[in-house]
């Protein structure tokens, strides 16, 4: 690389640094607030750290009460033509779902469907890492339905965690129980898996 190219790259980096500092002066760094840990509701109750199986139950009384409330709802003003959801939930769209819940929704069938997922954590002592899945608003947890099925099904192909175990065993056979890892592209997922599964293998 000749001196002109080096000088041009150096000048470009300097311009970027000046521009970054200039933008930063208009948008000062915000400090994260200190958020105390607290209870929502009764502040004096004891903390319950137990993890218990959970089942969805729609009793006949609950279903009857809910349907009565929906049938006896106030009339909702029709949405403006062509307004879609510009002013909030479209009233005609909402009425469609309310009528479905009040007349056609099979609560008992949905109860059985929701309770088909196993509750005991890791019952077969398989390699399982916790996965926290959060949905946004106005969507619901229903968008994770097919993901749950895939997570519960057994797979024969070699995933990143299995590759992490293979690589760890390879280094052990080479007499290197502690080692650094460099990985790029998709290989980073294998490296990340090794760091999660075998944190005690990292160099001192």
Total-model pTM:
0.49
Q: Are 161 and 193 in contact (CB under 8 A)?
A: yes
Cα-based angle 168, 170, 175 (whole degrees, multiple of 5): 95
- Listed as ranges, residues in the chain with pLDDT below 50 are 6-7, 123, 125, 202-204
Measure the N-to-C terminal CA separation of the chain; round to a whole number of Å: 39
Backbone angles phi, psi at 151, to 5 degrees: -70, -30
CB under 8 Å to 203, separation ≥6 — which residues?
Answer: 178, 179, 180
179 exposure class (CB count in 10 Å sphere: 0-12, 13-18, 19+): middle
Query: pLDDT tens across 5-40, in order?
Result: 544 555 666 666 766 666 666 666 666 667 666 666
> Over the stretch 31-52, which tens digit does the pLDDT of each residue have?
666 766 666 666 666 666 676 7
- Residues for the chain: how many in total? 204
């Amino acid at each position: 690389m000749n001196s002109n190219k080096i000088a041009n790259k150096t000048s470009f980096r300097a311009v970027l640094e000046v521009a970054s500092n200039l933008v930063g002066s208009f948008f000062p760094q915000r400090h994260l607030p200190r958020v105390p840990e607290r209870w929502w509701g009764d502040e004096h109750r004891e903390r319950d750290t137990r993890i218990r199986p959970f089942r969805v139950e729609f009793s006949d009384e609950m279903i009857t009460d809910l349907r009565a409330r929906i049938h006896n709802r106030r009339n909702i003003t029709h949405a403006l033509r062509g307004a879609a959801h510009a002013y909030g939930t479209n009233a005609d769209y909402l009425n469609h779902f309310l009528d479905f819940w009040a007349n056609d929704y099979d609560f008992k069938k949905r109860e059985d469907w929701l309770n088909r997922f196993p509750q005991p954590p890791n019952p077969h002592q398989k390699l399982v890492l916790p996965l926290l899945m959060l949905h946004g608003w106005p969507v619901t947890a229903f968008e994770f339905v097919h993901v749950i099925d895939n997570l519960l099904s057994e797979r024969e192909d070699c995933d990143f965690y299995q590759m992490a175990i293979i690589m760890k065993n390879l280094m052990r056979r080479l007499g290197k129980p502690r080692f650094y890892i460099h990985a790029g592209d998709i290989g980073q997922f294998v490296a990340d898996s090794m760091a999660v599964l075998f944190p005690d293998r990292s160099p001192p």
